Amino acid sequence: MQKTFNRQFMVSNKGCYSLGKLDNCSFMKNETISLTDIVDSEIELKDKFWFVCKKLATKEQNQKIAIGVASIVLEIYEAKYPDNKSPRIAIEVAKLFLEGKATISQLREARSNAAAAAAATAAATAAAAKDVNYSDLLLNFLNDFIKINGND
């Protein structure tokens, strides 16, 4: 995963940011911009994840990010629906799939079951999520992920 950037790279990969909004970001004042500068900056957490996932991460790295984020917020769902283990099972099957220990059919079935559970409970789960601030956990996850995968 690339860890340093120049101004031209950032301008070419700014997503929905206008040039003015990008120029106002603290990291844009640096001649060489590090991934750490971006992750530690004032931009919104969702934009940090967007940049890493859409502009830097490989398909497998994106799968690992999805598993990591799902694992962090799983407790919201399980606190409200402790008897429904389909999201936890889907996360475990996804991990096994990445290790070559589960088939695509098993992954699709687990994902489908988890999606059905999520759809049936989306409003209640979203309301519960508002009661807890997961930003620090997600930011810590992103920093740890970059440290582990930064040299790929």
Helix (H/G/I), strand (E/B), else coil: 151: coil
Range of the domain at 112: 59-149
Whether residue 65 is found in the same domain as residue 116: yes
Quote the CA–CA distance of 54 and 65 in Å, as a whole number: 12
C-alpha 62/C-alpha 59 separation (Å) is 5
| pLDDT value, residue 79 | 83
Over residues 119-147, the mean pLDDT reads: 75
Average pLDDT over residues 21-44: 96
Of residues 73 and 60, more confidently modeled = 60
Two structure tokens written together for 76: 């919201």
Same domain, 66 and 100: yes
Residue 78 and residue 123 in one domain: yes
Q: Which residues pair with 9 in a beta bridge?
A: none
Task: Note whether 8 and 80 are same-domain residues.
Answer: no
Residues 67 and 104 in one domain: yes
